[in-house]
Amino acid sequence: MQFIKSAIAVLFFVAPFMPQAQSTYLPQGSKDEILLERLEIKAQGDSVLNFSQIKPFSRKHWVQSLDRLEKDANGLRLSSVDRYNMQRARMNNLEWVTGDKSVYRSKKPLWNTFFKTPANFIEVDRSDFFLSVNPILQINYINDNQSEELNYLNTRGFVARGLIAKKIGFHTYLTENQERPPVFVQEWMAKYRAVPGAGFNKSFKGTGKDYFDARGSVTFNAAKFLDIQFGYDRQFFGNGYRSLYLSDFSNNHLFLNLNLKVWKLNYVSKVMELTSQYSRMGKDTIFPKKYMAIHHISFNAPKWLTLGLFEGIVFGREGHFEFGYLNPIIFLRPMEQQMGSPDNAFVGLDFKANIAKRFQLYGQVLFDEFNLGELRKGNGSWVNKWALQAGLKHVDMFGVKNLDLQLEANLVRPFMYAHYDTVANYTHYNQPLAHPLLSNFQEFIGILRYQPSPKWYMQARMNYWIGGSDRNGENWGNNIFLDYRTRASDYGNEFGSADKTKWMNANLWVAYELFENFFMEGNAYLRKAPAKDLNIMGSLGIRWNMHRRQYDY
C-alpha cells in the first residue's frame, strides 16, 4: 500500500509538466512484433528499433520507424508482404499516423458507425482525442491423447486505448476465461497452485479453471526524453524467445516505469509490487506482498551493436516498503549490502548485433551468486548461480522472402533464482518471473516462421531441454520456490543433477487472417516427457484481437 501511495504521489507531482505527446504500447503477442524484428535486422542501424528489447514497444516510436524506413524500402529489400504488413501496422496504430488517413478508412463502415477502419470496432479520431474499442474473443478446442475430456480455451472481453490532447495515453484490457488445458499443464497447475499467466482463479467443471485477465495503464511524457507509465500489466526484457531477466509468463503486476531515451542511451527504471508464495486454503485472505526493483541501461554504438546492463532486486519487509530502492539511479547491490544483504540481488549483461542486414546475434548472462574460486575448482559448487542465453535470427533464409529462422540456447544453473528467504525468490503469484522451466536445465529452441502471403501465417517450433529433477524429496536446485538452504549437497550441482531427464515440446501453427486481427488457426503439438508415452495434441479455433495462448514448457 505504501508503494501504491508513493507512485500516485509521483504521478500527481509530474502531471502538470506534460508538454509532450505520449503513446500506449503494442499489446502482448502483437503480430507487429514479427515485422518489427525483420525491420530491425534489415535496417541494421536504426537507433529506435535497436532498443526494442524492452517490450511492449511504444506505438508512437513504431509508427515513426515505419515512416522513416519506408523511404528506404528498396535499400532494405522489403518484400510485398513486408509492405502490406507495414500498411496494416499503420492502420492498427492510427493515432500516430500523419497526413492523409483516408487510405486506411473502410469503404462501407457498418451503419456508418462501426469499423470506420478495419482495425477498430469503435474508433474516434480527432485532433485532440483518439479512442479505439475492440472486442476480444478466443475459442480453442484441444484434442489431447492423454485426456478423456475435450480440452478448450474460451475467452471473451474487450480492449480499449486512447490518447487525450496528445499528452495522456491510456489502455485497458479485460477478459473472462474458462480453460481446460492439456493434461501436462493441469499437472503443472496442481504442483504450483497457479494458472500460468493468470492470477486469482476458480475451479470450473472439474479440471477446468475460470479466471479474469485485467490490465490497464496510463502513460505520459514528463520531459522531452522521459516517459512515465503506471499500471497493472506485464513486460518482457530481451531479444529472445525466452528472457532470463523478466518474461511475460507470470501474472500481471502493479508497476511504475520510468524510461529515459536520449542520445545513444535507453534507460529503464521499474518498480513492481508482486505476490509472494501463498496457499489460499479455500478461503478469502490477503495474499502476502513483496517487491522488485529493476534498472536496465542500453547503449547503441556502433549503430549495429546494442549493449545492455541489468540489475534487479527482489525483497519483502514486514509492515513497510524499502523506499531506498525507489532511487532510479543508484546501484541496487551496494544499497542492499548496506542494509545487511537480506535480499535477492541480480546483475546481468546483454547484447544484440545486427549483421549484414540478414542476421542478428543476441544473448544475456545473469548472475545471482558467483564465486570465481569455486568455479575454478570445477566441483559443482551450489554458490555459482548464473544463467546464460545465446541466440541467432536469420531473415529471408535461403533467399526465400519472409522465411525466418531463430535458434536459441538457454542454460540455467541449479538454485538460480532461489533464495533462503522464500519471500525473495524470483517468483510472482506462484509462477516464475523469468524462465518457465525454473532452473537447473539446458534448453535448445528452434523456430521457423513463414508468411507466404499477406493473410497466411505459419510457424514450426521445437523446444528440447535436459533438466534436473529432485529425487526422494531432496532439493537439487530445480524448484526455485524452495529455500536453497535445504539443498541436498554443496557440491556436485551440475546441469541436470541429480536425475538428468530429457524433454521435448514441438508445435506447428498455421493461421489465416480472415479479416483484420481475426484469425482462424490450428495447432499440432508433440510432447515427450520422461517415463511417459508421446503426448499428441491438436487444436482448432478462432482468435480476435488478442495473443495466442502458448503451451511451450
Model confidence pLDDT, tens digit, residues 116-159? 999 999 999 999 999 999 999 999 999 999 999 999 999 999 99
- C-alpha distance from residue 159 to each of 29, 51, 172, 510, 553 (Å): 14, 26, 6, 25, 28
Residue 530 CA to residue 77 CA, distance in Å, equals: 46
Half-sphere exposure of 10 (CA within 13 A, CB side): 21
Q: What is the predicted pLDDT for the residue at 21?
A: 53
2-544 carries CATH number 1.10.10.60: no
Question: Per-residue pLDDT tens for 152-181?
Answer: 999 999 999 999 988 899 999 999 999 999
Q: Which residues contact 363 (CB under 8 A, 6 or more apart)?
A: 350, 351, 388, 389, 390, 391
Question: Per-residue pLDDT tens for 413-422?
Answer: 999 999 999 8
Q: Which residues contact 111 (CB under 8 A, 6 or more apart)?
A: none
Burial code (b: 16+ CB inside 10 Å, e: under 16) for 92-124 equals: bbbbbbeeeeeebebeeeeeeeebbbbbbbebe
Task: Name the residue with cell 469503404.
Answer: 107
Q: Cβ of 241: how many Cβ atoms within 10 Å? A: 20
The band of 360, judged by pLDDT with boundaries at 50, 70 and 90, is very high
Could you tell me where the DSSP H helices lie in 71-175?
A: 80-91
Under DSSP, is residue 545 helix (H, G, I), strand (E, B) or coil?
coil
Tell me the mean pLDDT in the region 385-410: 98
Burial code (b: 16+ CB inside 10 Å, e: under 16) for 48-83 equals: bbbbbbbbbbbbbbbbebbeebeeeeeebebeebbe
What is the rounded average pLDDT for all residues in the chain? 93
Q: What is the predicted pLDDT for the residue at 470?
A: 81
Q: Give the cell for residue 397.
A: 533464409
Q: What is the predicted pLDDT for the residue at 19?
A: 42
Residue 389 CA to residue 513 CA, distance in Å, equals: 33
The band of 10, judged by pLDDT with boundaries at 50, 70 and 90, is very low
Task: Name the residue with cell 542454460.
Answer: 411
Q: How far apart are the first and last CA of the chain?
A: 34
Q: What are phi and psi of 279, to 5 degrees?
A: -135, 115
Q: Give the cell for residue 282.
A: 479455500
Q: Give the cell for residue 450.
A: 513463414
Residue 13 has pLDDT above 90, yes or no: no
Q: What is the predicted pLDDT for the residue at 223?
A: 81
Question: Per-residue pLDDT tens for 448-470?
Answer: 999 999 999 999 999 999 999 88
Residue 323 CA to residue 23 CA, distance in Å, equals: 29
Amino acid in position 526: L
Residue 465 CA to residue 471 CA, distance in Å, equals: 18
Question: Per-residue pLDDT tens for 253-285?
Answer: 999 999 999 999 999 999 999 999 988 776 778
Q: Give the cell for residue 355.
A: 549483421
Q: What is the predicted pLDDT for the residue at 186?
A: 97
Q: Among 433, 419, 409, which Cα is nearest to 385's?
A: 419
Question: Per-residue pLDDT tens for 329-352?
Answer: 878 888 888 888 889 999 999 999
CA 378 to chain centre: 34
Q: What is the predicted pLDDT for the residue at 250?
A: 97
Q: What are phi and psi of 211, to 5 degrees?
A: -155, 155
Q: What is the predicted pLDDT for the residue at 497?
A: 87
pTM above 0.85, yes or no: yes
Residue 413 CA to residue 380 CA, distance in Å, equals: 10
Q: Is 135 exposed, middle or buried (0-12, 13-18, 19+ CB in 10 A)?
A: middle
